[in-house]
Amino acid sequence: MKILLTASEAVPFAKTGGLADVASALCEALSKQGHEVVLILPHYPQLLPRGAQSRFKIKPTGESFVATVGPRETRGHFLQAQLPNSEVKVILVDQPDYFDRPSPYVYENIPYEDNCERFVFFSRAIIEAARQFGPFDVIHANDWQTALVPALIEIEQRKRDDLFKKVGTILTIHNLAFQGRFWHWDMALTGLDWKYFNWKQMEFFGDLNLLKTGIVFADMVTAVSPSYAKEICTPDLGWGLDPALSDRGDSLVGILNGVDVKTWHPDVDRFIKVNYDEKTLEQNKPLCKADLQKIVGLPEKPEVPVVAMISRLSQQKGFDLFKQAPDRLLDNDAQFIFLGTGEREYERFVKDLAKQHPTRVAGLIRFDEELAHKIEAGADLFLMPSEFEPCGLNQMYSMLYGTLPVVHAVGGLADSVVPASETTLKNKTATGFSFKKQNVESFLKTFNQALETYRNKKTWKQIQQTAMSQDLSWTNSAKNYVKVYNRAIARHCK
């Protein structure tokens, strides 16, 4: 199968969030299973790491194109690169006016005013790339930035070009909260007939909604976990798009993301003090813990549980629960480490907590990839009390590192963590702790259960080893995507 995967970011070329990790890892997993995979991204020169030109084999293809965006015709060029340590070919869409910027979507936390125009251009560029580098069996779009692609294929290309008559289209929703919603006059930028600007297709409360457009026109729609696929069909978590999603029926499928185990696994992690696995857990994880305590400035106390959180500091990630009951959160002997940036009120809360309890709390308001690895290896517990979580990766990283997660049982957190209970402890399937109601009492009850379990070393080790033995790689996820691809292709083979 020949697959064109489209995304607005992918490591190591550009990253602002989990989409970048998923795009690259899925491409690599599909390639390893024998499929020919091409990844297409915007070319962000300012975001490339030093030496990228030679490391990623970036070079011109000699191919250019002209894309019509509204009344304008804009020329772009295709560059070719290679996803490191893989057979995956990367096509970079080079258009400096749109993409030679300091970040992909925002500047100083304010979205670029021409974001709709930029990503309509990118979507048109994807169509041209499919024509020049195809034919492809499947075109896989991700999030609102490329959600226009299925519509362009369905409305325009299937009628005009034999290359697109049988191609299957897929849209993956990574976070429904981000929809690509723009004022109605931006409909003209898409080049599609205004007849499609209606409440069933591209219109959303008077605005143009690109994610809704993809949901309606793609052959198949996927969400990044089975539970999230169900949740977004409800008014509570559907962000206004639940009717469109419900209409998809069984053509909406949830597939849990995997983990890039070449990067996130304690047996191979190059950032941690010492590597370990299930067999060397007891000897080596304490060394990682001592190293972490030293680095973040906490007393080196091997018997004290280290509780960590690596996250965007926001209400969605559960920080309001901490803010409601900081004294009760600290009513124990645990040490706490918070790493991340986000909303100012929660950044200030974390800073104040660390200032008031310097021997108990480390508040690190920054992005630090190396420290994130050290935290996963050195902590004992990992907190993810998110209000909603489409998939989540850190709970899976944590399980592989024997750092047991405490999660709110929603989305991918519910799908990946088996909560400790009398039954799951007895049959040795427990991999962490979870609570069902998003309130302080439920969270603290589960958190205290985890601290109590920590003191029972035999039970704690059993849960750690069960968690570490889980197959959380991309292998199974990639196989599930191939099933979805085949269903999308089958819709045009009748």
Q: What is the pLDDT of residues 185-207, one digit of tens each?
A: 999 999 999 999 999 999 999 99
Output the pTM of the full model. Answer: 0.92
For the domain with range 281-471, which CATH number is right: 2.40.30.110, 3.40.50.2000, 3.30.43.10, 2.30.180.10? 3.40.50.2000
Instruction: Please state which of the ranges 77-81, 124-128, 366-370, 428-432 shows the lowest mean pLDDT.
Output: 366-370
Cα 210 to Cα 40: distance, rounded to the nearest angstrom: 19
| Mean pLDDT along residues 468-486 | 96
Backbone angles phi and psi of 33, in degrees to 5: -90, 10
Its CATH architecture, for the domain 2-258+475-490, is: 3-Layer(aba) Sandwich (3.40)
CA distances from 477 to 224, 257, 471 (A): 10, 6, 11
| 309 CB-contact burial (10 Å; exposed 0-12 / middle 13-18 / buried 19+) | buried
Q: What is the total residue count of the chain?
A: 494
Q: Which of 405, 385, 380 is closest to 472 using CA atoms? A: 405
CA 78 to chain centre: 26
Residue ranges of the domains in the chain?
A: 2-258+475-490, 281-471
Residues 6+ apart with CB under 8 A from 182: 115, 116, 207, 208, 210
What is the H or E stretch that residue 244 is in?
helix 242-246
pLDDT of amino acid 277: 96
Sign of CA dihedral 466, 174, 169, 145: negative
Same fold, 2-258+475-490 and 281-471: yes
| Mean pLDDT along residues 410-419 | 97
CA distances from 414 to 72, 235, 367 (A): 47, 19, 26
What is the H or E stretch that residue 351 is in?
helix 344-356
Q: Tens digits of per-residue pLDDT, 290-344?
A: 999 999 999 999 999 999 999 999 999 999 999 999 999 999 999 999 999 989 9
